[in-house]
């Protein structure tokens, strides 16, 4: 377990991490999310004793990282997959880490096999692709067989097969009872991998909750509706009931603010024949962008889809590069 209490880091007038309190529990994959500049990497550096906190503390099983007698047996970390000597082989890189941390040499072969690099372990690391370097970094994190894994963007550079492999590995490690902390900007993959989320923005905690609760609670309900002949009267009835209605390019209606049952009853009252009535939840990317909108440091003009034709009796407003 990794516990943060009132963790704060200031650089002059800049507050990178601001009174951050949360607990990363064992037995699950926790997605550690935030926009660029949110303080994720700084938090990891503080947890690993690579920077000194201005206030508060980080504890690994009740102790600071600096007080751990054999740190790699407690915490495995991947912060930068490129941080390897290019002229050293993958096997030599891991062997040096094992020797310097008093770890048994047999672990080198075990982790190389687990990450799928045993066939290329004798090659110079400088010849590795980014995906291979990520695998080597994961192998290094696993070298001490630690109970906590702290991984910063570990799937960058992996091909689709590698991403699927990493997803399975992380879930497997969590099922073994480890604390797996995963930082990534790839929301679609995080949605498939994480059980729990810790979301920060401008150094402060925004959410500490299960993935399911995060997805369910941040956006209003949405329902995808298809009808044989969607009429302006039906759309007007939905809006009168408090719904926001958007028409997709293929003429499906995306109804926000009403559940499927209410939409179905309105359709019945309007004598509409529905061919589809599907509840939808917001994707992790959509919900994340919604809850972190005020914490984004760098943003550009919003890009919207190509304009569509209006339904009979409907006016369509088209907006480019800004909010409507």
Answer yes or no: do 189 and 40 share one domain. yes
Count CA atoms closer than 13 A to 109's CA, side-chain side. Answer: 3
Global pTM reads 0.78
Residue 9 inside a domain? The answer is: yes
Domain final residue, candidates 199, 215, 231: 215
Instruction: State the average pLDDT over residues 62-77.
Output: 93
Handedness of CA 110, 112, 115, 117 (dihedral sign): negative
Answer yes or no: do 15 and 126 share one domain. yes
pLDDT the model gives residue 316: 38
Answer yes or no: do 155 and 104 share one domain. yes
Handedness of CA 154, 181, 114, 101 (dihedral sign): positive
Answer yes or no: do 194 and 234 share one domain. no
pLDDT in tens, 98-121: 999 999 999 999 999 999 999 999
State the average pLDDT for the chain. 87
Answer yes or no: do 67 and 130 share one domain. yes
What residue spans of 101-231 are helical by DSSP H?
106-114, 130-142, 160-175, 187-193, 211-217
Answer yes or no: do 168 and 261 share one domain. no
Residue 307 inside a domain? The answer is: no
Residue 130 inside a domain? The answer is: yes
Asked if 148 contacts 2 with a C-beta cutoff of 8 angstroms, the reply is yes
How many structural domains comprise the chain? Answer: 2
Answer yes or no: do 205 and 224 share one domain. no
Asked if 76 contacts 137 with a C-beta cutoff of 8 angstroms, the reply is no
Residue 321 inside a domain? The answer is: no
pLDDT the model gives residue 300: 55
Helix (H) or strand (E) holding 291: helix 284-291
CATH number at residue 59: 3.40.50.300
Burial of 85-115, coded b for 16+ CB within 10 Å and e otherwise, reads eeeebbbbbbbebbeeeebeeebbeebbebb
Residue 150 inside a domain? The answer is: yes
Answer yes or no: do 260 and 199 share one domain. no
pLDDT the model gives residue 322: 34
Answer yes or no: do 127 and 96 share one domain. yes
Answer yes or no: do 119 and 238 share one domain. no
Answer yes or no: do 92 and 226 share one domain. no
Q: Which residues pair with 204 in a beta bridge?
A: 201
Secondary structure class of 45 (helix, strand, coil): helix
pLDDT in tens, 199-228: 999 999 999 999 988 887 666 678 889 988
Query: Where in the sequence is the domain holding 202, given as residue range(s)?
Result: 2-215
Domain final residue, candidates 241, 263, 280: 280
Instruction: State the average pLDDT over residues 260-264.
Output: 91
Q: Which of 26, 23, 20, 22 is nearest to 6 (CA)?
A: 20
Residue 288 inside a domain? The answer is: no
Residue 153 inside a domain? The answer is: yes
Q: Which residues pair with 75 in a beta bridge?
A: 148
Question: pLDDT: is 230 or 171 the higher one?
Answer: 171
Question: pLDDT: is 288 or 47 the higher one?
Answer: 47
Instruction: State the average pLDDT over residues 139-153.
Output: 96
pLDDT reading at 299 higher than 80: no
Asked if 181 contacts 150 with a C-beta cutoff of 8 angstroms, the reply is yes
Answer yes or no: do 203 and 260 share one domain. no
Cα–Cα distance for residue pair 121/100, rounded to 1 Å? 19
Complete DSSP assignment for 105-139: THHHHHHHHHTT-GGGTTSBGGGS-HHHHHHHHHH
pLDDT the model gives residue 298: 55
CATH number at residue 273: 3.30.70
Question: pLDDT: is 37 or 58 the higher one?
Answer: 58
Domain final residue, candidates 167, 193, 215: 215
Residue 252 inside a domain? The answer is: yes
Handedness of CA 11, 12, 15, 20 (dihedral sign): positive
């Amino acid at each position: 377990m990794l516990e943060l209490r009132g963790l704060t880091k200031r650089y002059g007038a800049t507050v990178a991490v601001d009174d951050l309190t949360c607990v990363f529990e064992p037995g699950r994959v926790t997605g550690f999310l935030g926009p660029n500049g949110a303080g994720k990497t700084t938090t990891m550096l503080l947890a690993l004793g690579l920077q000194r906190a201005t206030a508060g503390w980080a504890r690994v099983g009740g102790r600071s990282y600096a007080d751990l007698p054999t740190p790699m047996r407690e915490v495995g970390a991947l912060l930068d997959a490129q941080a390897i000597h290019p002229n050293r082989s993958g096997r030599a890189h891991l062997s040096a880490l094992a020797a310097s941390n008093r770890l048994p040499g047999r672990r080198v072969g075990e982790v190389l096999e687990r990450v799928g690099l045993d066939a290329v372990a004798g090659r110079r690391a400088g010849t590795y692709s980014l995906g291979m370097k990520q695998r080597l970094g994961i192998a290094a994190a696993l070298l001490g067989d630690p109970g906590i894994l702290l991984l910063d963007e570990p799937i960058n550079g992996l091909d689709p097969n590698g991403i699927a492999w990493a997803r399975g590995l992380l879930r497997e490690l969590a099922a073994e009872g480890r604390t797996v902390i995963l930082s990534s900007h790839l929301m679609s993959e995080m949605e498939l991998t994480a059980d729990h989320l810790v979301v920060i923005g401008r150094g402060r905690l925004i959410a500490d909750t299960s993935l399911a609760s995060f997805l369910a609670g941040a956006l209003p309900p949405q329902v995808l509706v298809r009808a044989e002949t969607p009429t302006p009267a039906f759309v007007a009835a939905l809006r009168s009931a408090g719904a926001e209605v958007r028409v997709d390019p293929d003429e499906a209606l995306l109804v926000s603010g009403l559940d499927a049952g209410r939409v179905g009853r309105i359709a019945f009252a309007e004598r509409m024949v529905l061919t589809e009535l599907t509840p939808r939840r917001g994707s992790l990317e959509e919900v994340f962008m919604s809850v972190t909108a005020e914490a984004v440091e760098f943003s550009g003009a919003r890009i919207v889809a190509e304009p569509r034709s209006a339904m009979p009796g409907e006016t369509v407003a088209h907006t480019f590069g800004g909010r409507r």
